[in-house]
Amino acid sequence: MTTATTSIIGDLAVETDGLVKTFGATRAVDGVNLAIPRGSVYGVLGPNGAGKTTTIRILATLLRPDGGSARVLGRDVVREAAAVRKLVSLTGQFASVDTDLTAEENLLLLGYLLGFSRRAARRRADELLAAFGLAGAARDQAARLSGGMRRKLDLAASIVVAPDLLFLDEPTTGLDPRSRSALWETVRGIVADGTTVLLTTQYLDEADKLADRIAVIDHGRVIAAGTRGELKASAGSVGIRIRLLDPAHRDRARDLIAGPQVVVGDEPDPAVISARVPAQQRPEAAGQLAAHALGLLAGAGIGVSDFALAQPSLDEVFLALTGQTAPEPPEQPEPPEPPEQPQSASAGAEAAR
Amino acid sequence: MTTVSRQQRPVPAGPAAASLAFAWRSLLKIKHVPEQLGDVIGIPVLFTLLFTYLFGGALAGSTHGYLQFLLPGTLALAVVFVTVYSGVTLNADLATGAFDRFRSMPVWRPAPIIGALIGDIGRYLLAAAIVIGLGLAMGYRPGGGAAGVLAATALVVLFASALSWAWITLGLLLRSPNAVMSIGFVILFPLTFMSNIFVDPATMPGWLRGISDVNPVSHLVTATRALLAGTATTAQVLWPVAAAAALIALFAPLAALLYRRK
């Protein structure tokens, strides 16, 4: 998917030009340019303190930029802030619901504010609680929900009226792996309903799994942007792994394939060799390398049992772009999360009524 | 994933409906976190009992005689003291993700503040009811009867709501709830004690009497005493009403400006 960025303004969900925001001497956002097409998940990836949250707060009309301009769905975030607010919804980095109120009350309050009648707000709250698996916890104070459930409530609260553009600021930070994948599924469902999602994350796997297009941001600037494939092709190195029928042929195979553009190495498995084309190659380079290498091996009569193309991981991209490794997503739910559907005393009592 | 039906976008709530929705939020917070009423209950009870029995014998010869003089002042004092929590609560609320969500929604901008203030008025009424109820139990007898009690309560709550705007301004200006509380009390102590609440200003040195005479809290207490006694003149009532109007005229636009620039 290649989208011309400036010619079709109407198709852009977000367009920023040289966006700047300073806090004292810190340039939190230092000339951010973004062109985010409608109808997709756009990931803004960067380490802590890169300027992701500040950018989102400007786009959600919570902060005024000190320089540059930003348009959300064609409206200027400063001059037409009220129009922007009608079309967007924000789920902040921490709970964006009132933790003193129950899950149900939070949804009712937002329903009233958005203009639903009491009956319509009630119907919508029930519908969302059921769809997000929160019906059993409807009467529980949000503060008492598990991290995963509170995040679900956050998302439900964001779509009481489905927005055209949804901002999700680090939606899965602090969640265990199972809650993360459940949340990703929910986000995909929201996108399928026609909402554009702008997601910030510091986790590469999250951007990889969820985002159609990604901008990598560091020190307040966008340092790379494109589809996953484009990013990988631009910064990583592509390669292949070949498993030989006979490990005894490995030395000969290695000498055959090695060349000025190709770095060949041995893998721990004695039957496997790997070949890489260093960075800054086109995406199709891996395929060409494979055809070239397999042709040479066949010509020399060396049997191959299987081979695989290896795209670089976003980790490599991130490292190449920012000079630092990305944080690891949580491996183990620790401390153990409460069960997803806690039947608390009050919820149980409600059900029994 | 169960897809949730895409809604027809309704017309967002108007200023009044949005403010009422936020007032409902305040009431729900009291329902779920009732301990936040500790100050609204504690301060009136403490002030009524403490000052009556502490000063009564020394200042008026008997606690009963002093109560007739003090109780209208205690009513004003307790309710005015409780107002500082408007700023404290707002300051804490501003830092929450929920408030960020409200501010990114298509609702009238001041609605969260107005809604919280409506909730606060409920708290002021509760504080007033405690002082008057305790006073009646201790032997206070208002000459103005029920009508006088209602009018005095309305006046005190009006003044308190106006003063709340000063704390809301402070809440928008300062960094932490604790800072709002500290500075609030530093202002509240002289504002309430340098007045005619506890003693007749005729007994004060000239400079202090001068301060007490221009202190809007003194005018509020004078009017409250008169309303409770059933002897109020229009002029007596107009002074605190004018002070309330001045407080709102000064601080409400300032708060609105600070809030917009947040």
Residue A203 vs residue A317, higher pLDDT: A203
Q: Give the H or E element holding residue A230.
A: helix A228-235
Is there a domain that residue A3 lies in? no
Distance from CA of B176 to the nearest CA of A (A): 18
Size of chain A in residues: 353
Question: How many domains does chain B contain in total?
Answer: 1
Q: Hey, are the CB atoms on B3 and A131 less than 8 Å from each other?
A: yes
Confidence (pTM): 0.79
Q: Which CATH number fits the domain that encloses residue A263? A: 3.30.70
User: Terminal CA-to-CA distance of chain B, rounded, Å?
Assistant: 38
Residue A182 near chain B (CB below 8 Å): no
Is there a domain that residue A336 lies in? no
Is there a domain that residue B82 lies in? yes
Pick A100's closest partner by Cβ from B7, B33, B101: B33
Q: What is the pLDDT of residues B83-109, one digit of tens each?
A: 999 999 999 999 888 999 999 999 998
B63-74 burial, b at 16+ Cβ within 10 Å, e below that, comes to: beebbbbbbbbb
Residues of chain B in contact with residue A99, where contact means CB-CB under 8 angstroms, are 96, 98
Q: Hey, are the CB atoms on B97 and A86 less than 8 Å from each other?
A: no
Q: What is d(CA B164, CA A312) in angstroms, rounded to the nearest whole number?
A: 60
Of the CA atoms within 13 Å of residue B28, those in its CB half-sphere come to: 22
Angle at A317 between CA A314 and CA A319, to 5 degrees: 110
Same domain, A110 and A48: yes
Residue A98 near chain B (CB below 8 Å): yes
Residue B175 near chain A (CB below 8 Å): no
Please give the average per-residue pLDDT across B185-202, as a whole number: 91
Same domain, A205 and A74: yes
Question: How many domains does chain A contain in total?
Answer: 2
Distance from CA of A292 to the nearest CA of B (A): 45
pLDDT band at B180 (very low <50, low <70, confident <90, very high): very high
Same domain, A266 and A304: yes
Q: What is d(CA B7, CA A107) in angstroms, rounded to the nearest whole number?
A: 14
Q: Which residues contact A289 (CB under 8 A, 6 or more apart)?
A: A238, A239, A240, A262, A275, A277
pLDDT band at A107 (very low <50, low <70, confident <90, very high): very high
Q: What is d(CA A128, CA B76) in angstroms, rounded to the nearest whole number?
A: 47
A58-70 burial, b at 16+ Cβ within 10 Å, e below that, comes to: bbbbbbebeebeb
Same domain, A305 and A209: no
Is there a domain that residue A67 lies in? yes
Of the CA atoms within 13 Å of residue A306, those in its CB half-sphere come to: 2
Please give the average per-residue pLDDT across B123-143, as a whole number: 94
pLDDT at A10: 59
Same domain, A243 and A265: yes
pLDDT band at A335 (very low <50, low <70, confident <90, very high): very low
Is there a domain that residue B5 lies in? no
- Whether ipTM tops 0.90, in short, is no
Alpha carbon A240 to chain centroid, angstroms: 27
Residue B21 near chain A (CB below 8 Å): yes
Q: Which domain holds residue B78?
A: 36-261
Same domain, A149 and A204: yes
Q: Which domain holds residue A259?
A: 237-311
Residues of chain A in contact with residue B111, where contact means CB-CB under 8 angstroms, are 113
Residue B241 vs residue B48, higher pLDDT: B241
CA distances (Å), origin A106, targets A103, A125, B225: 5, 9, 43
State the burial class of residue A118 (Cβ atoms within 10 Å of its Cβ: 0-12, 13-18, 19+): exposed
pLDDT at A282: 63
B77 DSSP 8-state letter: H
Pick B1's closest partner by Cβ from A92, A109, A189: A189
pLDDT at A209: 86
Residue B118 vs residue A290, higher pLDDT: B118
Among A232, A250, A269, residue at a domain's last position: A232
Q: Which residues contact A76 (CB under 8 A, 6 or more apart)?
A: A69, A70, A84
Least confident of A48-57, A317-326, A327-336, B149-158: A327-336
Q: Is pLDDT of B243 > 90?
A: yes
Q: Hey, are the CB atoms on A97 and B97 less than 8 Å from each other?
A: yes
Residues of chain A in contact with residue B18, where contact means CB-CB under 8 angstroms, are 112-113
pLDDT at B2: 41
Same domain, A141 and A182: yes
Q: What is the pLDDT of residues A142-186, one digit of tens each?
A: 999 998 889 889 999 999 998 999 999 988 887 888 888 888 888
Q: Is pLDDT of A337 > 60?
A: no
Residues 116-145 of A with CB under 8 A from B: 116, 120, 124, 127-128, 130-131, 141
Is there a domain that residue A190 lies in? yes
Pick A161's closest partner by Cβ from B9, B24, B28: B9
Q: Is pLDDT of A353 > 50?
A: no
Same domain, A253 and A122: no
Residue A114 vs residue A325, higher pLDDT: A114
Q: What is the pLDDT of residues B153-165, one digit of tens each?
A: 999 999 999 999 9
Among A197, A232, A267, residue at a domain's last position: A232
Please give the average per-residue pLDDT across A130-141, as a whole number: 92
Is there a domain that residue B3 lies in? no
Which residues are paired to A165 by β-bridges? A88, A196
Same domain, A16 and A81: yes
Pick B25's closest partner by Cβ from A91, A98, A130: A98
Angle at B168 between CA B189 and CA B31, to 5 degrees: 95
Size of chain B in residues: 262
Q: What is the pLDDT of residues B45-76, one digit of tens each?
A: 998 888 888 888 888 788 888 898 899 999 99
pLDDT at A283: 60
Is there a domain that residue A93 lies in? yes
Is there a domain that residue A241 lies in? yes
Please give the average per-residue pLDDT across A84-113, as a whole number: 92
Q: Which CATH number fits the domain that encloses residue A171? A: 3.40.50.300
Tokens of A181: 């994948």
Q: Which residues contact A345 (CB under 8 A, 6 or more apart)?
A: none
Residue A88 near chain B (CB below 8 Å): yes
Among A86, A102, A113, the residue to mutate for chain B (most B Cβ within 10 A):
A113
Is there a domain that residue B245 lies in? yes
Q: Hey, are the CB atoms on A162 and B98 less than 8 Å from each other?
A: no
Q: What ranges make up the beta strands (E) of chain A?
A: 12-23, 26-37, 41-45, 67-72, 75-76, 88-91, 165-169, 196-201, 213-218, 221-227, 238-244, 263-266, 272-277, 304-310
Residues of chain B in contact with residue A88, where contact means CB-CB under 8 angstroms, are 104
Q: Give the H or E element holding residue A184.
A: helix A177-192
Q: What is d(CA A333, CA A328) in angstroms, rounded to the nearest whole number?
A: 13
Mean pLDDT rounded to a whole number for chain B: 91
Pick B98's closest partner by Cβ from A98, A127, A192: A98
User: Terminal CA-to-CA distance of chain A, rounded, Å?
Assistant: 54
Q: Hey, are the CB atoms on B106 and A105 less than 8 Å from each other?
A: no
Same domain, A160 and A297: no
Among A232, A258, A293, residue at a domain's last position: A232
Residue B209 near chain A (CB below 8 Å): no
Q: What is d(CA A129, CA A149) in angstroms, rounded to the nearest whole number?
A: 11
SS3 assignment, position A5? coil
pLDDT at A179: 84
Q: Name the H helices within chain B.
A: 15-32, 38-60, 63-82, 84-94, 97-103, 111-138, 145-173, 177-193, 206-214, 216-229, 234-261
Distance from CA of A245 to the nearest CA of B (A): 45
CA distances (Å), origin A182, targets A131, A172, A343: 13, 10, 20
Closest CA to A343 of A134, A192, A132: A134
Distance from CA of B142 to the nearest CA of A (A): 40
Same domain, A259 and A219: no
Same domain, A222 and A298: no
Among A75, A80, A100, A164, the residue to mutate for chain B (most B Cβ within 10 A):
A100
Q: Hey, are the CB atoms on B101 and A109 less than 8 Å from each other?
A: no
Q: Is pLDDT of A315 > 90?
A: no
Is there a domain that residue A323 lies in? no
